[in-house]
Amino acid sequence: MIVKALIFDVFGTLVDWRTCVAREVEAHLQPLGLQVDALAFADAWRDQYQPAMEAVRSGRLPFCKLDRLHRHNLDVVLADFGLDAVDESTRQSLNLAWHRLDAWPDVAPGLHRLRRHYRLAPCSNGNISLMVDLARRNDFPWDAILGAEVARDYKPKPAVYLAAADAFDLTPAETLMVAAHSSDLDAAARAGLRTAFIARPDEFAQGAGERMPTVPVDLTAVSLTDLADQLTP
């Protein structure tokens, strides 16, 4: 397997979105005297993610950045939780919760080791400013910011993976997609990329993430540092 670049899913694979979004929900709503199950709110917000992107993928909506979709979804979830009274400034700040997510502990050390030997970039549905903020917060050593905003479409559309490989002037087979989600890896493989699965068994709650891939992959690892052990001398 000759690989020259690694591209990464971010939400769930590199960062713990659920715990961090719940933390932000509490920080924003409790000062307003609003009590809410913050983890349930985070889950409900995330549940709106794929349907919102499907509207773009299907052509029903023109491409727009994930921040804009997240804001629409936030308004929906606030209404569903009976929180319509939340003011505009709070909504704007809370919507940026996705820019303030924390990485899993193995991620930064693993990325720094991998970067000695490979080009690295996110291949996320998150927009560029979001990816930059997460990189600066968590010391992600990217060589480029790739993904949905570059491709003007959302994963798992093939164009997103192919645009990332092309940005590095590489063939799909020279590009390794790294993710904790079998569906993401399956789509990347169908586009001709190599694939590596990272186990995140607690992504959706304790024991509620993927421990093993459900599709064929080239590599399987329990962490980014484990992946680095497999790919570097």
Q: What is the mean pLDDT of the chain?
A: 97
61-119 pLDDT, tens per residue? 999 999 999 999 999 999 999 999 999 999 999 999 999 999 999 999 999 999 999 99
Measure CA 205 to chain center: 16
Q: In terms of domains, do 155 and 65 share one?
A: no
Q: Indicate whether 1 pLDDT > 80.
A: no
Q: In terms of domains, do 24 and 9 share one?
A: no
Q: In terms of domains, do 161 and 200 share one?
A: yes
Whether the bond between 109 and the residue before it is cis, its omega within 30 degrees of 0, is no
CATH at residue 165: 3.40.50.1000
Q: How large a percentage of the chain has pLDDT more than 90? A: 97
- Once rounded to an integer, what is the mean pLDDT over residues 192-199? 98
Supply the pLDDT for residue 206: 86
Model confidence at 137, pLDDT cuts 50, 70, 90, reads: very high
Range of the structural domain that residue 110 is part of: 5-16+101-231
Nearest by Cα to 125 from 7, 16, 5: 7
Q: In terms of domains, do 149 and 209 share one?
A: yes
Going from the C-alpha of 132 to that of each of 19, 50, 101, 124, 144, the distances in angstroms are 20, 22, 12, 12, 10
Q: In terms of domains, do 90 and 25 share one?
A: yes
Last residue of a domain, one of 100, 116, 146: 100
Residue with tokens 């052990």: 229
Q: In terms of domains, do 47 and 158 share one?
A: no
Supply the pLDDT for residue 207: 84
Going from the C-alpha of 84 to that of each of 59, 74, 90, 130, the distances in angstroms are 29, 11, 12, 26
Phi, psi (degrees; rounded to nearest 5) at 86: -60, 130
Q: In terms of domains, do 161 and 175 share one?
A: yes
Domain count, the chain: 2
**pTM for this structure?**
0.96
Q: In terms of domains, do 112 and 218 share one?
A: yes
Task: Indicate the angle between helix axes 224-231 and 107-115, nearest 10 degrees.
Answer: 20
Q: In terms of domains, do 10 and 30 share one?
A: no
Cβ atoms of residues 153 and 54 within 8 Å: no
Supply the pLDDT for residue 191: 98
Q: Indicate whether 10 pLDDT > 80.
A: yes
Last residue of a domain, one of 81, 100, 119: 100
CATH at residue 83: 1.10.150.240
Q: In terms of domains, do 71 and 178 share one?
A: no
Supply the pLDDT for residue 233: 80
Q: Which residue has the higher pLDDT, 130 or 205?
A: 130
Residue with tokens 């000062």: 31
Residue 179, H or E segment: strand 175-179
Supply the pLDDT for residue 205: 86
- Once rounded to an integer, what is the mean pLDDT over residues 152-168? 98
Last residue of a domain, one of 100, 133, 151: 100
